[in-house]
Chains A and B, each alone.
Chain A
Amino acid sequence: MTALAAPAALRAPSPRLSRWLLRLHRPALYVFTGLVLVLAAALLWLWGPLTDAAAEGWRQWNACGDHPRCSYDQDAILRYKKVYDVTTLAMFLLPFLVAAWAGGALTGGELENGTAELTWTQGVTPARWLAAKLALPAALVAVGTGLLVLLHHLMWSAGEGRIDTSKSWYDTLTFAVNGPGLVGLALAGLVVGALAGLVVRRALAALGVALAAMAALWFATLSALPYLWPAVTTTGDLDSGFAVDGLHVDYGLVTSTGRHIPVPVCNGRCEDVYTKLDAVGIYNDYHPRSHFWPLHLMEAGLLLALAALLTLLAFRLLTRRTATARHREEAAV
């Protein structure tokens, strides 16, 4: 009786999902690979020739001193700045692109036109379908963004101290793409998009939801960033300024008892106000250059934890909606 062949069927070889996935999402694969290659080429160009030319330009400019007539390579400086800005922005947008694609094409579109269900009735369980759909793109996204981050960091380090207008380590966009946090954001983007597709089940709507969720996630990351690592506190007398070389977290006044209070509003008569408040100095909470890696690793870790949580949620949603084997454990024995 063929109806009793269930245990044999369970031991069948596993489906070749990766070949099918690569064929299905070939255009996306080409676009992503192309983008990574173009950006990598731009970063190499920046790292080598453009940085050297701009550094030479600044050296010429600084050598001019007070000379009224002096020539320096302004074009090289401007070219470096322009290419740097465009490349950095493009890298920053990658996680959003990944999220939009995952929501629109990876899951949302397939659920909208029924091809997901076609796959689920072709011997692939929904959980396995989702696992393949997340694992393969995740590997590609991690490798691609990881490579770009590495190149960007090397390129940025090469210009540090040599190019007067180079971005500081804590510049918002530069910080975002200069370390592993970007890889975390891109992987979170993949899961956010895939989950949006599973929930909304329509391509265009899922794309929109994924982008909105990513914007919210980015602003949350940005506001949480200063608190991801204990800040350094410096104090000084009332005449020293609030300027710091690093990522500012907080600043204010210190009273004679050592209490930290916010800076009061004083219209030119600050000394009187300070005396009334018993302020004897100022303080600054900030992250120095040495906090770059701890901050980035914390950011990446938290984003990956979020991605893992959302992945779990996506699997729960899918297995609750579709049938899952009741007797799998018994049958496997």
Chain B
Amino acid sequence: MTDTAGLALEATAVGRRFGARWKAPAWALRDCTFKLAAGRVCAVVGPNGAGKSTLLALAAGLLVPTEGTVTVLGTDPASARTRVGYVAQDKPLYPQLTVAETLRMGADLNPGRWDAATGERIVADGGLDPAARVRSLSGGQRTRVALALALAKRPELLLLDEPMADLDPLARHELMGVLMAQAAQHGTTIVMSSHVVAELEGSCDHLLLIGGGRVRLSGEIDDLLAAHVRVSGLAETSLDPHTVVEARTTGRQLTALVRPSGPLPESLRTSTPSLEELVLSYLRNPQAPGTTPAEHEKAAI
């Protein structure tokens, strides 16, 4: 058994460049390395244009990396195609088909894997009329149908690009419930990108923070929170040799988010940051050093 077993997703030095070679090529993703164990619910967080969509499309086999390798469920993304579910950001569906026809299409295209009952239940739970045309559906209803298509193929890995972006809070809560039930029942690995950190807290256990096309943070959310400390104290207090993610001085008062490399000075008051504080601190400070995956691996052991 290779060491890729038990991993749902692995990226090794992955880069993806867009644009023609003779023009100024733009790297949407560069030097991206991380591992995600099977069964996790992973949040991919980052500002707009950070490369989240590119990463998910690479994992889904819709794009090929310019450099590096992506390994999905122990194989290459194309070979894993039947075992991976993917919902794109704008939830593309055929507008001329009805909801029932859309699900029948899923059955036709996924022979041997399709779970019709799951698809129909997800659609019915939203009160959707199977005879309704997709073009007549609201944003939330479309998302529900797209999720039904992705879940009824019984994926081992589910990739969701901003799944809740255009939903009202109620629909967001409902669909998150559908997803979490799926993950709990079938052990599905879920990777979802979002820029709303609040909606991820409590449902995700793994975080992948992407900024400027690179991985800034990667690891179990609990480990990441435990590895960071919010400190406050007098402005002249030296924070060396600890890694400072963000520091702010107001008058004589210093507040900072640090990754301690040893015992902190006694004079500082410490508290545990929330996930949102952690993510925002990194997003506000693009130059702050991230954790390398190697470091994290050691930490996780």
**Contact partner, B111, options A3, A12, A24, A328, Cβ 8 Å:** A12
Chain A nearest CB, measured from B77 CB (Å): 5
B5 at the interface (CB under 8 A from A): yes
Count of A-B contacts judged by CB separation below 8 Å: 126
Within 314-333 of A, Cβ neighbours of B (below 8 Å) are at: 320-328, 331
A269 adjacent to chain B (CB < 8 Å): no
Q: Give 1 or 0 for each of A1-29: 1 = CB within 8 Å of chain B CB.
A: 11111100110111111011001100000
Q: Which of A2, A119, A320, A325 contacts B78 (CB 8 A)?
A: A325
Segment touching B, from A81-89, A122-130, A191-199: A122-130
Known contacts: A114-B90, A120-B62, A328-B79. The answer to whether A6 contacts B73 by CB under 8 A is yes
Q: In the assembly, what is the distance between CA of A10 and CA of B76, in Å? A: 13
With beta carbons under 8 angstroms apart, the residue of A17, A23, A118, A327 that contacts B93 is: A118
Question: Across the interface, do B82 and A3 meet the contact criterion of CB distance under 8 Å?
Answer: no
A172 contacts B by Cβ under 8 Å: no
Residues on the B chain within 8 Å of A14, using CB: 111
In contact, A20 and B64 (Cβ under 8 angstroms): no
**Least Cβ–Cβ distance between A106 and chain B, in angstroms:** 13
Q: In the complex, A140 Cα to B169 Cα: how many Å? A: 49
Interface residues in A, total, Cβ within 8 A: 40
Q: Are A23 and B101 in touch, CB under 8 angstroms?
A: yes
Q: A5-B83, A23-B105, A121-B84 are in contact. Are A15 and B110 (CB under 8 A)?
A: yes
Q: Chain B contacts of A10 at CB under 8 A? A: 79
B109 touches A20 (CB 8 A): yes
Q: Answer yes or no: B206 CB below 8 A from chain A CBs.
A: no
Question: Contacts of A1 on B, CB cut-off 8 Å?
Answer: 5-6, 38
- A324-B78 in contact (CB<8A): yes
Give A92-114 interface residues, CB cut-off 8 Å to B: 113-114
Take A123-B153, A325-B76 as given contacts and tell me if A12 and B63 are in contact as well, using a CB distance cutoff of 8 Å: no
Do the beta carbons of B108 and A125 come within 8 Å of each other?
A: no
Given contacts A6-B74, A17-B109, A327-B76, contact A118 B92 (CB under 8 A): yes
- Taking a contact as CB atoms under 8 Å apart, the answer to whether B79 and A122 are in contact is no
Task: Pick the residue among A4, A12, A115 that contacts B5 (CB under 8 A).
Answer: A4
- Which one of A17, A123, A323 lies within 8 Å of B64 (CB-CB)? A323
CB–CB B94/A114 < 8 A: no
The residues of A that contact B86 with a CB separation of less than 8 Å are 117, 121
- CB-based contact B78/A16 at 8 Å: no
Interface residues of B in 102-122 (CB under 8 A from A): 105-106, 108-113
Q: Tell whether A118 pairs with B88 under 8 Å between CB atoms, given A2-B156, A123-B81, A326-B76.
A: yes
- Residue contact B88 to A325, C-beta cutoff 8 Å: no
Cross-chain contact B92 with A125 (CB below 8 angstroms): no
B-side contacts of A327, CB under 8 Å:
75-76, 79
7 contacts between A and B (CB under 8 A): A13-B111, A17-B109, A114-B92, A120-B60, A121-B85, A124-B109, A323-B78
| Shortest beta-carbon contacts, A-B, top 5 | A114-B92, A323-B61, A121-B86, A12-B112, A323-B78
16 additional contacts, CB 8 Å, given A117-B57, A323-B77?
A3-B7, A3-B8, A4-B74, A12-B111, A24-B97, A114-B90, A114-B92, A115-B93, A118-B149, A121-B62, A123-B113, A322-B62, A322-B78, A323-B64, A325-B76, A325-B78
